[in-house]
A and B are shown apart, each in its own frame.
Chain A
């Protein structure tokens, strides 16, 4: 158990509403990531963080923002949700020896449906 908690685990919302997903870790690790998973696309990186207040964009960052004000929390915000953002969102953290190894530890996912 890598000590990662995602919330909420399931959410249904309407187009145009703001949504925030939270990733909480108990491991005090530096690197944190947000991915989305869609059929046929695998996992695609949205944003990542390499320290408090240090974040950068991934390959599918449009329409998403992130914040990391504490080591343990990494928030993903959809300012105005669209149906194309219906997906399963995974948070991941790099372990003690990351990035020397490529091992990320994943949360259980947050399923978001935008109607």
Chain B
């Protein structure tokens, strides 16, 4: 796998924060975070383009590492609809490579 994600599984209590990590030995021109719900294709959450970039989208915050090889995604104050599989994906030469995914469950 070109991109390594951790953890593979994450079970959290509603209201807690969660963080997913992504790293690679390859450099990417941009890095994205996607979420997939059961029976559907992945949907883009956040995109990162510059080294060191920190971006927020509501309760989601993500940062692109200064070496352009790693990233994290943080979700604050989790809610039940945050469940799903979270993927990081790196773009190079028109090809988007995905990590293996992190499965998130939220306990009420």
Which residues of A are in contact with B by a Cβ distance under 8 Å? 31, 33, 35, 40-45, 48, 50, 58-59, 90, 92, 94, 99, 101-109
B47 within 8 A of A: yes
**What chain B residues lie within 8 Å of A103 (beta carbons)?**
32, 44, 47
**Which of B1, B2, B95 has the most chain A CB atoms inside 10 A of its CB?**
B95
**How far is B100's CA from A35's CA once the two chains are assembled, in angstroms?**
13
In the bound complex, what is the Cα–Cα distance between A104 and B47 (angstroms)? 11
Number of chain B interface residues as a range: 20 to 34
Q: Closest B-chain residue to A98, C-beta based?
A: B94
- Asked if B94 and A43 make an inter-chain contact with CB atoms under 8 angstroms apart, the answer reads no
Tell me whether B43 and A106 are in contact (CB under 8 A).
yes
* Overall SS of chain B's interface: strand
- Count of CB-CB pairs between chains A and B under 8 Å: 62
With A40-B100, A48-B94, A102-B30 already in contact, the answer to whether A108 and B43 are too (CB < 8 A) is: no
| 10 A–B contacts from the bound complex (CB under 8 Å) | A33-B96, A40-B100, A42-B99, A42-B100, A102-B30, A102-B32, A102-B91, A102-B96, A106-B43, A109-B41
Contact B43 A99 (CB under 8 A): no
Question: For the complex, what is the distance from the CA of A105 to the CA of B44, rounded to whole Å?
Answer: 8
- Alpha-carbon separation in the docked complex, A65 to B88 (Å): 27
Contacts of A43 in B (CB 8 A): 42, 87, 98
